[in-house]
């Protein structure tokens, strides 16, 4: 309809290919003032194409408008609250961006000689030290490119240590509340997986753990607070049980937003863990990367860390490649450097007390949401929650409305959906993580939207089941849309 009224503002942006007309250009070059070189001669005929089939030809303004219009179709953290649980979608302060764009850092080359890269090495060394302090661990590698990559690195470190002790062992224990990347990591590292059921209060069942830990168990992988948003208050005891049998404790640190400045995994028995800099330490994510998943370890695992390691000789930083027990490189060069700068800027801008405040606000916000929504939604685990809260769609399901329907309706209210159907141990999960960056006004609007939709479920469930109604595209088949996307707009 809108297209008919104002046809120049198309609500259904065509593909750039569809906008193309032959001969249009988005650039203008001055006349050549050097001798012309024949491309085929210079590059070899086999490397030169006569034309690029179907290459779109558009003007500069068409290209700019196309991408700007498309960008308005997206939801973004700069646009509104993004309560996607387990993801810590917090606002990324612009000062981080400014730091990452500092000329000497942004234009540094990884092959630059050490003598000319001292500033970059200092940035990395400072970040390693800050993360070691925050986690209470002894050493940190910045190489892994994401959380899952950090997990794999961490489990390979455990394998290397156990192998050196004579037996890599066979199994990794994983609670039923774990993120899917945990079992995937264990399997790729060559381990069998044994599941541990959570207790009724939603935490690790230590009695069950004690029963199954034996000389076949290499490690327990646990997220703390776990994916129910509940702090594993038996974690130190679990560590003792594992260590008593020569096994290790791996902590998935994706939920460190609930702990930074308050509790240190190194103090409650964790041997190795990863951090998601793109979650806890405020670097942009959600668009597919880049991220960073540094791994922090206790001293026993330090010799196995990926090479090279930063080492200070005299007043200068240098890379140490001669590490005979190292598991080797896990990433080209030294990790996603731009992400590392953003994380360090965030840490230094906050300082210790600021980081601690952020954690307390993150927890306060989630507890506030829980308190105001408890009357409207089923809360399967009653344990106190930390930085996120997991409801289920039990009450709404009675009217035929499931968590996915509810989430779609939230889009009409201007919010990004919460996490749908995860963790798997909660049937019809609605997992909400506000983070510390939301103020009370925005959070109240979100809560009001949730309550308003809960009321719609009572009066007009069909409205919710067919949402969203205010977006350009309504319901799509999610599997087909991902596997066989239809990108072309066909006018009706
Ligand atoms: C996000 C997340 C991961 C994976 O991290 P990536 O950086 O996406 O690879 C692992 N575990 C938990 C609990 C997470 O939330």
Query: Residue 489: phi, psi to the nearest 5?
Result: -90, 120
Q: Are 345 and 414 contained in the same domain?
A: no
Asked whether residue 82 is domain-assigned, the answer is no
Question: For residue 171, is pLDDT > 70?
Answer: yes
In a 10 Å sphere around its CB, with 0-12 CB exposed, 13-18 middle and 19+ buried, how is residue 51 labelled?
exposed
Q: Which atom of ligand 1 is nearest to the CA of 86?
A: 15
SS3 263: coil
List the residue whose alpha carbon is closest to atom 14 of ligand 1: 254
Atom of ligand 1 nearest to the CA of 276: 7
Q: Are residues 121 and 234 in the same domain?
A: yes
Residue 268 has pLDDT above 90, yes or no: yes
- Give yes or no for residue 259 having a pLDDT over 60: yes
Do residues 454 and 466 lie in contact, with contact meaning Cβ atoms separated by under 8 Å?
no
In a domain, 86, yes or no: no
Average pLDDT over residues 20-46: 93
> Is the pLDDT at 455 greater than 90, yes or no?
yes
Residues of the domain holding 25: 16-73
Which of the four pLDDT bands, split at 50, 70 and 90, describes residue 476? confident
User: What would the mean pLDDT of 153-170 be, rounded to a whole number?
Assistant: 98
Number of the ligand 1 atom closest to the C-alpha atom of 146: 7
**Residue 291 belongs to some domain of the structure:** yes
Cα separation of 425 and 146, whole Å?
A: 25
Q: Are strands 217-223 and 171-175 parallel, antiparallel or unpaired?
A: parallel
445 pLDDT higher than 50 = yes
Model pLDDT, residue 486: 80
What atom of ligand 1 comes closest to residue 223's alpha carbon? 13
Q: Are residues 252 and 331 in the same domain?
A: yes
Q: Average pLDDT, whole number, for the chain?
A: 93
- How does residue 1 score in pLDDT terms, banded at 50, 70 and 90? very low
**What's the predicted TM-score (pTM) here?**
0.91
In a domain, 61, yes or no: yes
pLDDT tens for each residue of 371-405: 999 999 999 999 999 999 999 999 999 999 999 99
Question: What spacing in Å lies between the alpha carbon of 448 and ligand 1's midpoint?
Answer: 29
Task: Name which of 368, 388, 390 is nearest 379 in CA terms.
Answer: 390
218-246 tens-digit pLDDT? 999 999 999 999 999 999 999 999 999 99
Strand order in the sheet with 139-141: 139-141, 295-297, 272-274, 248-252, 217-223, 171-175, 192-196
Q: What does the pLDDT average to over 194-214?
A: 94
Helices 440-459, 337-373: axis angle to 10 degrees equals 50
* Residue 171 resides in a domain: yes
Residues 193 and 311 in one domain: yes
Residue 32 DSSP class = P
Are residues 362 and 338 part of one domain?
Answer: no
Q: What is the DSSP string of 268-327?
A: GT-SEEE--TTTTT----SSS------EEE-GGGGGGSPSPEEEEETTEEEEE---TT--
Rounded mean pLDDT, 88-109: 95
CATH number of the domain bearing residue 453: 3.90.1150.10
DSSP letter (8 states) at residue 340: H
Model pLDDT for residues 296-327, shown as the tens digit of each residue: 999 999 999 999 999 999 999 999 999 999 99
Task: Answer whether 91's CB lies under 8 Å from 346's CB.
Answer: no
Q: Could you tell me the two tokens for 81?
A: 């609250």
- Specify if 311 maps to a domain: yes
- Regarding whether 257 and 113 lie in a shared domain, the answer is yes
d(CA 134, CA 74): 34
Q: How far apart are the CA of 85 and the centre of ligand 1, in A? A: 11
Residue at which a domain ends, from 288, 316, 349: 349
Q: Give me the CATH number covering residue 279.
A: 3.40.640.10
In a domain, 492, yes or no: no
Structure tokens at 25: 């250009």
Q: Which residues line ligand 1 (CB under 6 A)?
A: 86, 146-148, 179, 181, 223, 227, 252, 254, 276, 291, 293
| Ligand 1 nearest atom to the CA of residue 278, by list position | 7
Q: Are residues 360 and 286 in the same domain?
A: no
Confidence of residue 53 (pLDDT cuts 50, 70, 90): confident
Average pLDDT rounded to a whole number, residues 122-133? 98
pLDDT for 357: 98
Helix (H) or strand (E) holding 175: strand 171-175
Q: Which residues neighbour 105 within 8 Å (Cβ) at sequence distance 6 or greater?
A: 99, 119, 120, 123, 337, 341
- Cα 49 from Cα 53, distance rounded (Å): 10
Do 316 and 446 lie in one domain? The reply is: no
User: What confidence category does residue 56 fall into, taking pLDDT thresholds of 50, 70 and 90?
Assistant: very high
Mutational pocket test of ligand 1: of 86, 143, 229, 424, the residue with most ligand atoms within 8 Å of the beta carbon:
86
Together in a domain, 239 and 185: yes
- Of 349, 366, 387, which residue is a domain's last? 349
Q: What is residue 490's predicted lDDT score, i.e. its pLDDT?
A: 61
| 24, 111: one domain | no
Pairing relation of β-strands 139-141 and 295-297? antiparallel
Cα(393)–Cα(399) distance, integer angstroms? 10
Decide which of 316, 349, 382 is a domain's last residue. Answer: 349
User: What mean pLDDT comes out for the span 114-142?
Assistant: 97
* pLDDT score, position 5: 47
- Is the confidence at residue 10, as pLDDT, over 60? no
Q: Give 11's pLDDT tier (boundaries 50, 70, 90).
A: low
Range with top average pLDDT, 73-82, 91-100, 464-473:
91-100
Q: Sorting pLDDT into bands at 50, 70 and 90, what band is 288? A: confident
Tokens of 173: 């224990």
Q: Quote the CA–CA distance of 100 and 333 in Å, as a whole number.
A: 18
Percent of the chain at pLDDT exceeding 70? 97
Residue 254 maps to a domain: yes
How remote is the CA of residue 122 from the centroid of ligand 1, in Å?
A: 28
Pairing type for strands 248-252 and 217-223 reads: parallel
In a shared domain, residues 264 and 121: yes
Using DSSP's 3-state secondary structure scheme, residue 431 falls into strand
Q: Specify the number of domains making up the chain.
A: 3
Average the pLDDT over each of 116-120, 123-127, 473-477 and give the range with the smallest value. 473-477
> In this structure, are 157 and 289 located in the same domain?
yes
**Region 324-343: what's the mean pLDDT?**
96
């Amino acid at each position: 309809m809108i297209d008919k009224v104002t046809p120049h503002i198309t609500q259904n942006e065509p593909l750039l290919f569809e906008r193309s007309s032959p001969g249009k250009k988005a650039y203008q070059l001055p006349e050549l003032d050097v001798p012309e070189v024949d491309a085929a001669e210079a590059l070899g005929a086999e490397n030169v194409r006569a034309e690029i089939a179907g290459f779109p030809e558009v003007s500069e303004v068409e290209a700019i408008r196309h991408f700007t219009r498309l960008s308005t179709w997206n939801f973004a953290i700069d646009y509104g609250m993004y309560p996607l649980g387990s993801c810590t979608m917090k606002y990324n302060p612009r000062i981080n961006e400014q730091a990452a764009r500092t000329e000497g850092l942004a234009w540094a080359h990884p092959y630059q000689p050490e003598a000319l890269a001292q500033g970059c090495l200092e940035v990395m060394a400072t970040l390693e030290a800050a993360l070691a302090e925050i986690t209470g661990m002894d050493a940190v590698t910045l190489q892994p490119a994401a959380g899952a990559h950090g997990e794999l690195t961490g489990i390979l470190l455990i394998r290397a240590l156990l192998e050196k002790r004579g037996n890599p062992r066979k199994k990794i224990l994983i609670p039923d509340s774990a993120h899917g990347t945990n079992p995937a990591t264990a399997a790729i590292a060559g381990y069998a997986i044994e599941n541990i059921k959570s207790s009724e209060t939603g935490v690790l069942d230590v009695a069950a753990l004690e029963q199954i830990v034996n000389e076949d168990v290499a490690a327990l992988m646990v997220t703390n607070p776990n994916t129910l948003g509940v702090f594993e208050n038996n974690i130190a005891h679990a560590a003792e049980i594992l260590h008593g049998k020569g096994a290790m404790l791996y902590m998935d640190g994706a939920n460190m937003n609930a702990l930074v400045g308050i509790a240190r995994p190194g103090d409650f028995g964790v041997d190795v863990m990863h951090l998601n800099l793109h979650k806890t330490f405020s670097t942009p994510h959600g668009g597919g990367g880049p991220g960073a998943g540094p791994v922090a370890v206790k001293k026993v695992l330090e010799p196995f860390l990926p090479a090279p390691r930063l080492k200070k000789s005299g007043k200068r930083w240098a890379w140490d490649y001669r590490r005979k027990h190292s598991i080797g490189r896990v990433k080209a060069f030294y990790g996603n450097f731009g992400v590392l700068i953003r994380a360090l800027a965030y840490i230094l801008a906050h300082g210790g007390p600021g980081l601690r405040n952020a954690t307390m606000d993150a927890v306060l916000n989630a507890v506030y949401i829980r308190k105001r929504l408890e009357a409207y939604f089923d809360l399967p685990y009653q344990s106190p929650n930390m930085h996120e809260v997991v409801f289920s769609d039990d009450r709404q399901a009675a009217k035929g409305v499931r968590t996915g329907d509810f989430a779609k309706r939230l889009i009409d209210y201007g919010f990004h959906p919460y996490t749908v159907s995860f963790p798997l141990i909660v049937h019809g999960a609605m997992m909400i993580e506000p983070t510390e960056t939301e103020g009370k006004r925005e959070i109240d609007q979100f809560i009001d939207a949730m309550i308003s939709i809960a009321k719609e479920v009572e009066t007009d469930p069909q409205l919710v089941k067919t949402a969203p109604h205010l977006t350009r595209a309504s319901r799509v088949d999610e599997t087909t849309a991902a596997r066989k996307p239809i990108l072309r707009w066909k006018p009706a």
